Structure 1
Amino acid sequence: MYQNLINYITNYSGLPLSFQETGLIQNIFQPKKLRRRQYLLQAGDVSKYTAFITKGAMRQYLIDDKGNEKVVQLYIEDHWADDRASLLSNKPSVYNIEAWEDTEMLIISPKDFYELADKIPAMAQMLRVMDDRHAIALHGRLNSMIRDTAEARYMEFERKYPHFVQRFPQHHIASYLGVTKETLSRVKRQSMR
């Protein structure tokens, strides 16, 4: 379970971890399991942990004023799941983070995360790389929502995240892409021609 996290840290940081650093990481990150449909976070609660997924799949969504679910993130193995705004501001979240499959994860509080980053150079470097990549991905997603057609958004999603297409139902992917499930069905039919 911890090996995925250790590999992730060294791959993202480009720095090795010492035996002592690895031990410290294993002592601070706590294992947690959720069954399908259980929540890591529910809207109205304050986010307390960041979770590194080692097995399973999760989704982050909110409920709009009309009662419709709007998926904002999809997560599988080697992804981090949290509501960072709630986590850092200590304010209630507007999001639900739900296990879509039985999920195993390693959780950590923000305080412990930043203490580890202060003690372990690879963690600090990983955090910088993650923040940069997240900003780039968010900017790209925003541009795509404004500029691209539903077909272009789906084709790019399918190219970048083929495993997600296999593991999440079409209506979750449609919501994530900002289209109706009917539109996504039409786009998929047209792309198969």
Structure 2
Amino acid sequence: MEPNSLIQHIEKLVTLTEEAKAELLSLVQVKKLRKKDVLIYEGDISYYSNFVDTGLLRLFAVDKTGVEHVIQFAPPGWWVGDMGSILKQQAGRLYIDALENSTVFQLRWSSMQELYTKHPIFETYFRVLAENSLAAYQSRLLNHLSMPARDRYAAFCQLYPSLIDQLPQKQIASYIGVTPEFFSKMMSQPALKK
């Protein structure tokens, strides 16, 4: 399988030479996941960044009481990984699982470093992604600290419009930081009905 979607995604931000494309393709590994498969467990050391080609992944943590806290949904065209574990090469605190059958293209962290040296354009691409990700996480943190649940749900809808009808309510509730019961009650209010 050739990861054309990955090349197309990268070329939205930077222009790749044929040599750079070939080098990338030689380093990418394809991973197929079935719904509910776990790609990364808490405690694992993560070696890969994962680009979602098809399907839907979820990055989440589980607290001491067993409650799941969704950090990110990763639909097609998104990258996902436990960055703390990848960067520090230590046991991670997060899980990644498949919410539906999925195909991911995995790029080993050490291979990314090689790409940066041989083809600096990849460093530019991943820097832009990191900057965008940092801005998005800061915005999400600010939303959680300062916005009521209704507004956090509106922000979720703006960020993930294709997932509104695709995800179970308990997943959305976890992402916006409320209980499923509170979310259900909130959604029953006329202003939020579809």
Shorter-chain TM range is over 0.9
Offset at 1:182?
1.9
Offset at 1:16?
1.6
Q: Does 1:42 align with 2:41?
A: yes
- In structure 2, the partner of 1:74 is 73
Higher helix share: 1
- In structure 1, the partner of 2:6 is 5
How many angstroms apart in 1 are the aligned matches of 2:93 and 2:22? 35
The percentage of counterpart residues that share the same residue type is: 29
Q: Is the 8 A contact 1:48 1:87 kept in 2?
A: yes
Q: Deviation digits for residues 39-95 of structure 1, max 9, x if unmatched?
A: 110111111211111001011112111111111111110111110101111111111
- In structure 1, the partner of 2:99 is 100
Secondary structure of 2:53 counterpart: strand
Please tell me the residue identity of whatever aligns with 1:57.
L
How many angstroms apart in 2 are the aligned matches of 1:166 and 1:79? 19
TM-score, with length taken from structure 2: 0.93
Secondary structure of 1:102 counterpart: strand
Secondary structure of 1:167 counterpart: coil
Question: C-alpha root-mean-square deviation of aligned residues, in Å?
Answer: 1.4
Q: Is the 8 A contact 1:62 1:95 kept in 2?
A: yes
Gaps (5+ residues) in structure 1? none
Q: Does 1:176 align with 2:175?
A: yes
How many angstroms apart in 1 are the aligned matches of 2:33 and 2:193? 36
Q: Does 1:119 align with 2:149?
A: no
How many angstroms apart in 1 are the aligned matches of 2:180 and 2:90? 32
Gaps (5+ residues) in structure 2? none
Please tell me the residue identity of whatever aligns with 2:74.
Y
- In structure 1, the partner of 2:62 is 63
- In structure 2, the partner of 1:137 is 136
Please tell me the residue identity of whatever aligns with 2:143.
S
Q: Is the 8 A contact 1:83 1:93 kept in 2?
A: yes
How many angstroms apart in 2 are the aligned matches of 1:122 and 1:167? 35
Tell me how many residue pairs correspond in the alignment: 191
- In structure 1, the partner of 2:89 is 90
Secondary structure of 2:100 counterpart: coil
- In structure 1, the partner of 2:156 is 157
